[in-house]
Amino acid sequence: MTNQPIVQSAGISGDVTEFILREGKELSGLQPAGRMITDTDSGTFVYLLDDGERFVHVHFPEEIWPQMAIALQNGQTPVLSAGEHRIELVNFADELEMLVFNIEGNDNYGSAFSTAVEEAFSQILGA
């Protein structure tokens, strides 16, 4: 879906990783669902937000994975921001860690995706 929010950049705000959505996306009325899945067709991790009626899929493309790995290594609960709105990504580290370890060596996710995840999260997998 082209209308799904995509993280365009990441940075550190204080001691918390902040993921920033592409312009034009809103977070008002959304709550963290505390769940993460993958979209292997688009090669992204997907954090789920809940608007009360349906899930909104926030895509984390491969270029953002290094910042995701840092947040995971630091045990942080990162935030997602769009304009003035910020949402704490509840269960982010637990969900991401579970997915990364499940994807390792598992070509059910597709060989290219599995290899990319193994490379991006090699420090976590090797710990």
When the pLDDT of each residue in the chain is averaged and rounded to a whole number, the result is 91
Q: Which residue do the tokens 């292997």 mark?
A: 40
Note whether residue 2 is domain-resident: no
Is 19 part of any domain? Answer: yes
Q: What is the DSSP letter of 112?
A: H
Residue 30 is assigned to a structural domain of this protein: yes
- DSSP character for 4? S
Task: Kindly indicate the confidence band of residue 126, based on its pLDDT and cuts at 50, 70 and 90.
Answer: confident
The verdict on residue 1 lying in a domain is no
**CA distance readout (Å), 32 to 78, 88, 90, 120:** 12, 7, 6, 25
In a domain, 33, yes or no: yes
pLDDT tens, residue by residue, 91-112: 999 999 999 999 998 989 999 9
Q: Could you tell me the pLDDT band of residue 1, with boundaries at 50, 70 and 90?
A: very low
What is the total count of domains within the chain?
A: 1
Nearest CA among 24, 13, 37 for reference residue 88: 13
pLDDT band at 69 (very low <50, low <70, confident <90, very high): very high
- Structural domain range at position 70: 7-125
The structure's pTM equals 0.92
